[in-house]
Structure 1
Amino acid sequence: MTTHYRPTAQYTSATAPGALPLLGHAPAFVRRPFDFVAGLAAHGDLVKVRLGPLDAYVVCHPDLVRRLLTEDRTYDKGGIIIDKVREAFGNGLATCPAADHRRQRRMLQPAFHRDRLPGYAAMMAEEIAGTTARWRDGDVIDVPAAMYRLTTAVTARCLFAAHERAGSLPVHECMNVVTRGVARRMMMPLPGADRIPTPGNRRFQRAQRGLKEITRRLIADYRAAGTDHQDLLSTLLSTRDEHGRGLSDGEIHDQVVTFLLAGMETTAATLSWTWTLLAANPAARDRLNAELDTVLDGRPARHEDLPALPLTSRIISETLRLYPPAWILSRTVAADTELGGHPLPAGTTVLYSPYLLHRRADLFPCPDRFDPDRWLTTARPAPGTYTPFGLGARRCIGDTFGTTEAALALATIAGRWTVTPTPRQPVRPQRSSSMSPRSFQATLTRRVR
């Protein structure tokens, strides 16, 4: 893929127009968050916004995003987005500050070593085949809900393989409530608002307690059994740092919840968007069908099939470009610094948006067009331009795990079914901490090869 922007030594800074008294840009961010954020690039490379009482800077240029993500001691995990996620999901690998990250990363790396992936992929393939085996020709499904059920089963199996009914654990309901609650807290960052005893806040707190209870029981069961089940929880229990210390039960809980969020919410969102994109682009769907018929001939996809499914992989990459699940993230400035020639004092909140970057026409020609073939060339995008999994030392540890899960699900389902969305209006993203589509239905038609 060719990148058309030219790095420059001169970066522009500006303040976003349209701020209201007291509220700043918060109303625009709440009402139309994606359009608001994507439009900021037109004002400068570093754009100041005001969200209620909070001033923040949105980084719009890929060079500056690269600096933001690779200088992780200067730009630490924190700020309006990460702080809210950390409150909900704990101090796991995705949310912990730099002071904790190196130890956590080293301890968790064995769980995601490439030698472990075939074993996880076998569990994924079995759950995907089993879940979709219950579908019938002509069924009408709620696509995001169905993909969420699918990724819940897959993620729970890879995390808790020893649990006989891992897929039936109530993590789906708890994670759904917590994720929606995080989104509300992100978009309305008013101090103390999350402690008001509203029905929504009470549901949020019950769901948090439910997740803690699920993980507490599972950790206790695994510790009592003392068996390596070749799953993620077994690895978390057995890993040790350079001093021989393991993770506490609280630390394991935070990592489990982090993996649940990444494996369930983000992969379900990616798959849901994929069906809308393929339905709107029948030529790409026909080419995908031809690839799957040649390689799979109607059977479920396996890990060893993936190298022979390049179009399947490109479709996942293009879906992640158009609809990156982690669409906006934040950092906090740890010490006085400058970015693009603009001074940033310690404590400043800095935001960046993969959605904004991926929709820039100077980085991705015809950025709103679904074009899997833009990934045909061997050249990689310049650092800071394509960031669905982050960059640098804090790049998502489970990126290959997630893309493998998505590719296996897409190949198995599309090889057997045509998923035809039947929305009354175009599918829109919902205002959430991940870029998930709003609920829409689709008809399943069994494919005849």
Structure 2
Amino acid sequence: MPLPHTPTAPHFTTADAPGALPLLGHTLAFLRRPYAFVAGLAAHGDLVRLRLGPLEAYVVCHPELVRTLLTDDRTFDKGGVILDKAREVMGQGLATCPAAAHRRQRRMLQPAFQRGRLPGYAALMSEEIDATTAPWSEGDVIDVPAAMYRLTTAVTARCLFAAHERAGELPVHRCMDEISRGVARRMMLPLPGVDRLPTPGNLRFRHARRDMTEVTRRLIADYRADGTDHHDLLSMLLGALDENGRGLTDPEIHDQVVTFLLAGMETTAATLSWAWTLLAANPAVRERLHSELDTVLDGRRARHEDLPHLPLTARVVSETLRLYPVAWLLSRTVTTGTELAGRHLPAGTTLLFSPHLLHRRADLYPCPDRFDPDRWLTITRPAPGTYLPFGLGARRCIGDAFGTAEACLALATIASRWTLTPTPGRPVRPARRASMTPRPFTATLARRVR
């Protein structure tokens, strides 16, 4: 199979998305079938204009244009109505801050994610994966997304707050689950004033955000008073210094903690949940995966040093991220008037791009809807703009190796011991959220005999 490539394009096409309604624009079509609606825009052009109520935006559908968008972060900065909703929670954290602040933050935080620290984090991950799945029993019926969310919450909290004796039991699970739902509602319906209404969902969101602020405030105060480097992420945040010798303030550390929690918990939980459905629907791949795990692990939990010997496990994770990229729709704002695809875009223009759309293009991935981990045997380095589960350029996710290791360790440890069979009768569908997470579904646990 050839490498995914961007087709030669002497010129790019622009268009208006069809079907706009008066006042509402494309809002109803987007809310009813968001994933299909966005993926279908590529059929109309390489740069497609749409309207979501009063918001006008352009969806960038061609990988070459997306590469331009993501590698020129001064012209196409983080921003837009959708991202502004995420900033209500993440503040000016690494994932949401503008380019002017990003360079300082990235330099300060990069040491926490150096490759040399990954084995230490992986050891904590393996322990929490073991502990979280220990109560499972033969024949149990579990809510898979909820179980994976509990697992990744415990792992992320342990890596963030290793000094806390019961880090996995901190109330971050309840807080972050409600915060995640609140962010999703705001990003999917970015209409002015809606998030200020006293609805039950908005009230739960405000309470969860307040409680999370108090949790991080207490933890930061405890760490500062202790003064010990616990070799976890919070210790790294407290010890980080910029080129002028200045550290992060407590509000800045809070924003980074919430950013890492949201990214570390939801992204990996969704990836693992989708992986179980894909493996159940493809028993031949699952049997090959079991064979690999039996050979390498022989029933014990996976460790960091096992990862190079689990190539199929890694390909399953890569293919799951292709089919179900959690950050499926992202935005940028034009900072100064520019041209893209031959169209002049004034400052303030909102641009959207979708890894989901790009990953399902048949000209980039033959049979794009098919789960085929072996396509990654020949795809060693996808062309920029064709595979974006972790972004691209200077804003590429700083924790990509961290998240990939966590997903591989969890998938390997669980699949070596258990078979998860989704309850028949209803196909698993993506929830209509800002992140591509599956709707709740159950599966029956069967202990594997090697």
For 1:432 and 1:414, locate their aligned partners in 2 and report how far apart those are by CA, in whole Å.
Answer: 28
- 1:259-278 matched pairs, under 5 angstroms: 259-278=260-279
Give 1:4 deviation, angstroms. Answer: 5.1
1:88 offset after TM fit, Å?
2.0
Name the amino acid aligned to 1:106.
Answer: R
Question: Which secondary structure state, in structure 2, belongs to the residue aligned with residue 152 of structure 1?
Answer: helix
Cα displacement string for residues 212-241 of structure 1 (whole angstroms, at most 9, x for unaligned residues): 011001000000000000100000000101
Question: Could you tell me which residue of structure 1 aligns to residue 137 of structure 2?
Answer: 136
Q: Is the 8 A contact 1:7 1:63 kept in 2?
A: no
Q: Does 1:2 align with 2:3?
A: yes
- 2:260 partner amino acid: F
* Contact 1:419-1:445 within 8 A present in 2 as well: yes
Match of 2:401 in 1: 400
Paired position in structure 2 for 1:153: 154
Matched-pair contact (CA < 8 Å) for 2:15–2:45: yes
2:328 maps to which residue?
A: 327
Task: Give matches, 1:424-435, under 5 Å.
Answer: 424-435=425-436
Q: Which amino acid aligns with 1:319?
A: T
Residue aligning to 1:317: 318
* Alignment of structure 1 residues 214-229 onto 2, 5 Å: 214-229=215-230
* Per-residue CA distance 1:232-289 (angstroms, 9 max, x = gap): 0000000101111000000000000000011100100000000000000000000000
Report if the CA contact (8 A) 1:13-1:47 is conserved.
yes
Counterpart code for 2:368: P
Using the size of structure 2 for normalisation, the TM-score is: 0.99
User: Residue 287 of structure 1 aligns to which amino acid in structure 2?
Assistant: R
Offset of 1:197 from its aligned partner? Answer: 1.6
| Contact 1:52–1:189 under 8 Å retained in 2 | no
- Equivalent residues in 2 for 1:169-184 (5 A)? 169-184=170-185
SS in 1 for 2:56: strand
What does residue 121 of structure 1 align with?
Answer: 122
**Structure 1 range deviating more: 397-406 or 192-201:** 192-201
What's the CA shift for 1:201?
1.1
RMSD value over aligned CA atoms?
0.9
Instruction: Give me the whole-angstrom Cα distance separating, in 2, the residues matched to 1:110 and 1:380.
Output: 25
1:355 matched residue in structure 2:
356
1:109 touches 1:397 (CA, 8 Å); kept in 2?
A: yes
1:423, CA displacement in angstroms? Answer: 4.1
Matched-pair contact (CA < 8 Å) for 2:6–2:386: no
Q: Distance in 2 between matches of 1:181 and 1:423?
A: 30
What's the offset of the Cα at 1:9? 2.8
SS of equivalent residue, structure 1 residue 58 = strand
Return the offset for 1:169.
1.0
Q: How does 1:233-244 map to 2 (within 5 A)?
A: 233-244=234-245
The one-character-per-residue Cα deviations of 1:140-166 (angstroms, maximum 9, x if unpaired) are 100000000000000000000011111
2:345 matched residue in structure 1: 344
Q: CA deviation at 1:433?
A: 1.9
Equivalent in the alignment of 1:67: 68
Length-normalised TM-score, structure 1: 0.99
Return the alpha-carbon distance in structure 2 between the equivalents of residues 35 and 25 of structure 1: 13
Secondary structure in structure 1 of the residue aligned to 2:137: coil
SS at match of 1:17: coil
Moved more, 60-69 or 197-206: 197-206
Alignment-mate amino acid for residue 11 of structure 2: Q
- Per-residue deviation at 1:7? 2.7
Distance 2:349 2:424 in 1: 42
SS in structure 2 at match of 1:346:
coil
Q: Shift in Å at residue 27 of structure 1?
A: 0.8
Deviation at 1:90, TM superposition (A): 1.4
**Dislocated runs of 4+, deviation >3 Å:** none
Please give the secondary structure, in 1, of the residue aligned with 2:70. helix
Are the counterparts in 2 of residues 179 and 433 from structure 1 also a CA contact under 8 Å? no
Cα distance change, pair 9–80 in 1 and its aligned pair in 2 (3 A) = farther
Aligned-partner Cα distance in 1 for 2:277–2:88: 33
Report the identity percentage: 77
Distance 1:124 1:379 in 2: 27
Cα deviation code 1:69-89 (max 9, x no counterpart): 000000000012211111122
* C-alpha distance in 2 between matches for 1:5 and 1:229: 45
Q: Which runs of 5+ in 2 are unaligned?
A: none
Deviation of 1:379 (Å): 3.7
Alignment correspondent of 1:373? 374
Structure 1 portions without partners, runs of 5+: none
- Deviation of 1:5 (Å): 4.3
**Is the contact made by 1:326 and 1:434 (CA closer than 8 Å) also made in structure 2?**
yes
For residues 18-72 of structure 1, give each alpha carbon's deviation from its aligned partner in whole angstroms, at most 9, with x where no partner exists.
1110000011111110010000000000000000001000000000000000000
Which residue of structure 2 lines up, in the alignment, with residue 202 of structure 1?
203
Q: How many residues align?
A: 449
User: Could you list the per-position Cα deviations for residues 348-376 of structure 1 after superposition, in whole angstroms to 9, with x for gaps in the alignment?
Assistant: 00000000000111111000000000000
